[in-house]
Structure 1
Amino acid sequence: MILNREFYQRDAVAVAKDLLGKVLVHETNEGITKGLIVETEAYMGTKDAAAHSYKSNPSGRTNVQYKEGGYAYIYLIYGMYYCMNIVTNEINIPEVVLLRALEPVDGIELMKKRRGTDKMINLCSGPGKLCAAMGINKDNYGMDLCSNQLYLEEAAVKNPIEVVASKRINIDYAGEAKDYLWRFTIKDNKFVSVKVK
């Protein structure tokens, strides 16, 4: 079942926790890939110095963040890796959740081909890696996640999970915001990008 709009229309911290154990799906001409979300980070907009929308307005690359929850915010880092974020909350509250790692579920051979590796553990263990494996790029910017191409769904089998909160990764520039415990992982999942200290 595809997650509905209401799921996303809450603050980013709440959504980031609840995304763990959900499945990201991308249907492309090459095939369908699916990954279980095992690691997320919340970015709380105007009250979060680590957020792209901290001092922005509804223009440029952050424009989609000002929509209602349930859209894809895609950006490029280091001029070569795409990162996928999910817009959350209500209109004009620019909060997002960064997807940091997936556990591959379906379309694994296609993921391996896209990533150029046979190592399952390494396919989606980071935001750039998961976008490459899932075939996500700038063309997916602004896509409605309540549609039928790029979307999130409930896992076929719901296993109980324990959520671990920790500091977000690589945001040392963000003052006191670097210490907020807004990174969430499934405890002991081997597919996370960086082990929780």
Structure 2
Amino acid sequence: MTMPESFTLDRLPTPIGTALLVTDADGLLRAMDWEDYEPRMKQLLRLHYGVVDLKNERASHELRAALTGYFKGDLDRLAAIRWRVAGTPFQQAVWNALPKIPAGTTLSYGALAAKLKMPKAVRAVGHANGSNPISVVVPCHRLIGAGGSLVKYGGGLERKRWLLQHEGVQIAYDGGATRPAVTQPA
């Protein structure tokens, strides 16, 4: 019988809701999601680690300070956060590529698939992006549809819109339609 993974769970207020921070014994971030999506986060943890024991405990001062700094506008603070994820080699490749998309910019799913030298893997990139257990820090919100549409975000499109605007991305609305899009600078 395998022992359950033991992680700690902390809650951090942000301008877009309470963030759930899951860390391991080494203080590495293992998951970050939103309080209103806690069941999904727990499901992703089970998928990646099997049985997980979560105990309420405050995350490190460094992690909390880096995230607070990011939400106050110091976008470079995310790079200081140490994290670790479990997943397939393909998921790992996608998740390790996401932090290389600079804050204030976006990339389409197809462009990321091409960067990974798998141009036909657009849907697989989308699926891996949707399975990302570390929201914001592993910036899945920076991936957009081919036409610039915001498409999906596990934390909801309003949060994705806020995160992108917070990072300086211009969001356009096509005549009040429900599909906002990223505008490229001239």
Q: What is the TM-score when the length of structure 1 is the normalising length?
A: 0.28
Q: Kindly indicate which of the two structures has a greater share of residues assigned to strand.
A: 1
> Which structure carries more relative contact order (alpha carbon 8 Å, separation 6+)?
1
